[in-house]
Structure 1
Amino acid sequence: MKLTKIHNLLETEIIYQSQSELNIVSACGADLMSDVLAFSREKTLLLTGLTNPQVVRTAEMIDLELIIFVRGKQPPKETIALAEEQDITLLTTEKPLYEACGILYSAGLKPEKLDTIE
């Protein structure tokens, strides 16, 4: 799914947009970064209510290119600076996590395959 479609579906505000063309194939909604590390792969977008720099560091570790902050949350300057440095797109939406995930799922964006979960 292209960034433009995601932006329109979730009525997002752009905080920082990388120069690369994003093609997102799955989504992960989580506030536990350990879950994101365990179950996400590249070309996955992360929806989260956390705004600290650790979110960007987690995304960097698994090559995520897009983070969407839910509930209208705005990240601190440190988080934005780190995202710019790592060229990770940051968006925010007023929608809560559950609703944002549901909208993307209904539009055809599938969840990350969790075939490693027992």
Structure 2
Amino acid sequence: MTISRINEIIKGETITFGSNEEDYRVCFASDLMSDVLRIDTDNLMLLTGLANMQAIRTAEMADISCIILARGKKATKEMIDLANENDITIIESPYSMFHIAGILYNNDIKPLF
């Protein structure tokens, strides 16, 4: 699924846009970044309510190229700068993590586990 399609279905807004338009098929929802660091999956989206530098640093270390911020959380300037440096897409959505996960699942995005 493309970033534009993801935005459309979760009422998202792209804040930063990575260097390429990947086809995302898997999503992992977590606010616990230590769990995220144990993942090794290509083209993975991270769905989180954690809007801080730790989320961006974790995505960088785990080679995750798309972060969806739930519950209307806003990326800070520092988050945006670091995401741009690392070609990480940040999407902000007003929906809860549960709502976003359900929408993605109903649109053929698979859970990691």
Structure 2 length as normaliser, TM-score?
0.94
- Regions of 4+ moved over 3 Å: none
Deviations 1:50-78 (A, max 9, x none): 11111111111121110010011102111
Tell me how many residue pairs correspond in the alignment: 113
Q: Which residue of the partner structure matches residue 37 of structure 2?
A: 37
**Rg: which structure is higher?**
1
Report if aligned partners of 1:66, 1:89 keep a CA contact under 8 Å in 2. yes
Separation of aligned partners in 2, 1:73 and 1:45: 17
Identity within the alignment, %: 40
Unaligned runs of 5+ in 2: none
Deviations 1:1-55 (A, max 9, x none): 1212111110101111123111112001100001111235231100101111111
Letter in 1 for 2:106: S
Unaligned runs of 5+ in 1: none
Report if aligned partners of 2:72, 2:93 keep a CA contact under 8 Å in 1. yes
Matches within 5 A, 1:1-118: 1-112=1-112, 114=113
Secondary structure, in 3 states, of the residue corresponding to 2:37? helix
Please say which of residues 42-51 and 16-25 is displaced more in the overlay.
16-25
Separation of aligned partners in 2, 1:109 and 1:40: 17
Separation of aligned partners in 2, 1:57 and 1:27: 18
CA RMSD of aligned residues (A): 1.1
